[in-house]
Amino acid sequence: MRENALKRKLQSGEFVIGPFMNCSYGAFIEIVGMAGFDYAIIDMEHGPLEVETAEDLCRAAQGVGLSPIVRVRKNDAPQIQRALDIGSAGVQVPQIETGEGAEAVVRAAKYAPLGMRGLSFYTRAGDYTMYGVEGYTDRLNDEQLVIIHVEGVTGLQNLDAIIAVPHIDVVFLGPYDLSQSFGIPGQVNDPRVIKGMEEATAKIRAAGKAAGTYAGDAATAKRWIDAGVQYISLGVDVGIFANACRDLVAQVRG
Please report the domains of the chain, with CATH numbers, ordered by start residue: 5-147+213-253 (3.20.20.60)
Q: State the pLDDT at residue 3.
A: 85
Helices (H) and strands (E) in the chain, counts: 12, 8
Enumerate residue ranges in the chain where pLDDT < 50: none
Residue whose C-alpha is closest to residue 124's, from 170, 47, 73, 68: 68
Residue 202: which residues within 8 A CB-CB, separation 6 or more?
228
Q: State the pLDDT at residue 1.
A: 67
The model's pTM? 0.95
At residue 14, φ and ψ (nearest 5 deg) are -75, 155
Q: State the pLDDT at residue 2.
A: 77
Among residues 14, 25, 46, 142, the one annotated as catalytic is 46
Q: State the pLDDT at residue 254.
A: 82
Q: State the pLDDT at residue 199.
A: 97
Verify whether residue 149 is a known catalytic residue: no
- Determine the 3-state secondary structure of 101 from DSSP: helix
Residue whose C-alpha is closest to residue 144's, from 93, 215, 73: 93
